[in-house]
Amino acid sequence: MPLHEKSEAVYAEVLARNPGEDEFHQAVREVLESIGPVLGKHPRYTDAKIVARLCEPERQIIFRVPWEDDRGEIHINRGFRVEFNSTLGPYKGGLRFHPSVRLGTVKFLGFEQIFKNALTGLPIGGGKGGADFDPKGRSDREVMRFCQSFMTELHRHVGEYTDVPAGDVGVGGREIGYLFGQYKRITNRYESGVLTGKGLTYGGAQVRAEATGYGCVFFVQEMLLARGDSLDGKTAVVSGSGNVAIYAIEKAHQLGAKVVACSDSGGYVHDPAGIDVALLKEIKEVRRERLTAYAEARPGARFVPGRQVWEVPCEVAMPCATQNEITGKEAAELVRNGVVAIGEGANMPTTPEGIRIFHEAGLAYGPGKAANAGGVATSALEMQQNASRDSWSFEYSEQRLQDIMRGIHTSCAETAEEYGMPGNYVAGANIAAYTRVADAMLALGLI
């Protein structure tokens, strides 16, 4: 899709100033393609150079993370925190520990986070962080030493009114606990609101672990309901087998769908009877094993190595693994196999070609910045509870999450309709989020 004339120069500058950061370029272009009608209708945004200011992070932090493994060998990793935009509130976004993490990765995630957080309607800005550390195969003590070294530098830049990290790929409850412990040790403050995704015994919130997966399913359900349909009786496929995937599977089953496949980096498991969530949790959350162990323990299931889960026929697809996992090829295969709805539990998991194919097929397609906003929304609810020294029930917290996801769906659908693109949740999400952030930026002046 061509860019609005007033966006072309901004995008050219983004390419020139951020060479080699393809994922960041992709995320920026997707937003710029959507907001052309807004820029034409409201020249005050271009006069204030809102787009150019949004594309440049307020702060980018890169630091060394030295740590020692169990054999006494010293390792040096690189840590990142990109504090992208704090117009609506303190920077909010997860930490990703994975060998693929580099500055461009963190910038694309942080840029997406600005819009995702704005869609929730909660007072949180956008940021992201992480390190090129791989926790896979490391002992608990090695992970602890890495997290302590990481937080020794990061603590200078975060705080409940400044920047509030959470978990992401490779950063779960174990890592958040070690990070919080080191923050408390260094600062001598029990500042619960500095991190979210904490354990329930030390300031965590109910539904936080489930939130991204549950929220994705709630969004898919809202898209289907808008078409006079529902998840009940649908066959679904989920990529990934981490936190987001597990709880997307769980909630999809609760709403009457049957998830028959999920994946990890080695391949996918196909279980025609429906994925056994309790067994999946045992293997992934307790034993920390590969999906091959699921197939070995589950009669009727088979593990398919080295293949994409998207070759399994389904009516609902939920990519919950990583960016750009659905290319044009996979999107076309999903369409041929009868998919009717796609909800992104991961960040930017579909390439532009894949998105084009879904739109041309007239499918219900929920982009990540809308469909996976449940995680950060519940993080903000955790911040509320920490600030008030309160603790909410699981039922109340889940209801708040469902209400937020319903509100995001309504905002995206109504905005797309207003700008002449009914059913286009990509445009609806980008425009609704952009206008909220842009109006706040205008109100705060040139800062």
User: 153-171: per-residue pLDDT in tens?
Assistant: 999 999 999 999 999 989 9
The CATH number assigned to the domain holding 295 equals 3.40.50.720
**Do 40 and 63 belong together in one domain?**
no
- What's the pLDDT score for residue 67? 98
User: Is residue 69 assigned to a domain?
Assistant: yes
Kindly report the pTM of this predicted structure: 0.92
| Active-site position among 128, 184, 198, 234 | 128
Model confidence at 2, pLDDT cuts 50, 70, 90, reads confident
Model confidence at 322, pLDDT cuts 50, 70, 90, reads confident
**Do 322 and 222 belong together in one domain?**
yes
pLDDT surpassing 90 at residue 285: no
User: Is residue 413 assigned to a domain?
Assistant: no
| Segment 10-65, tens digit of pLDDT | 999 999 999 999 999 999 999 999 999 999 889 999 999 999 999 999 999 999 99
Residue 128 among the catalytic residues: yes
Angle between helix 22-34 and helix 425-444 axes, rounded to 10 deg? 90
**Do 239 and 259 belong together in one domain?**
yes
Number of CB atoms found within 10 A of residue 267's CB? 18
Domain end point (choices 325, 348, 371): 371
Angle between helix 211-226 and helix 374-387 axes, rounded to 10 deg? 130
**Do 16 and 78 belong together in one domain?**
no
SS3 331: helix
User: Is residue 444 assigned to a domain?
Assistant: no
SS3 126: strand
| Segment 383-430, tens digit of pLDDT | 999 999 999 999 999 999 999 999 999 999 999 999 999 999 999 999
**Do 247 and 280 belong together in one domain?**
yes
**Do 354 and 263 belong together in one domain?**
yes
- What's the pLDDT score for residue 7? 85
The residues, ordered by sequence, that sit 6+ positions from 290 with a Cβ below 8 Å of its Cβ are 264, 266
- The average pLDDT across 184-209 equals 95
Burial class (CB in 10 A: 0-12, 13-18, 19+), 50: buried
Total number of domains constituting the chain: 3
**Do 47 and 96 belong together in one domain?**
no
What average pLDDT does the chain have?
96
Query: For residue 342, which amino acid is it?
Result: I
For residue 119, give Cα distances in angstroms to 63, 123, 430: 31, 10, 9
d(CA 197, CA 218): 20
**Do 267 and 157 belong together in one domain?**
no
**Do 112 and 33 belong together in one domain?**
no
d(CA 437, CA 443): 10
Find out whether 366 and 425 touch, Cβ atoms under 8 Å.
yes
What's the residue count for the chain? 447
| Segment 367-386, tens digit of pLDDT | 999 999 999 999 999 999 99
pLDDT surpassing 80 at residue 434: yes
Query: For residue 35, which amino acid is it?
Result: I
**Do 320 and 241 belong together in one domain?**
yes
pLDDT surpassing 80 at residue 1: no
**Do 23 and 80 belong together in one domain?**
no
User: Is residue 322 assigned to a domain?
Assistant: yes
- Residues 178-203 as b/e (b if ≥16 CB within 10 A, e otherwise) read bbbebbbeeeeeebbbbbbbbeeeeb
pLDDT surpassing 70 at residue 441: yes
Domain that includes residue 269, residue range: 211-371
**Do 78 and 44 belong together in one domain?**
no
User: Is residue 394 assigned to a domain?
Assistant: no
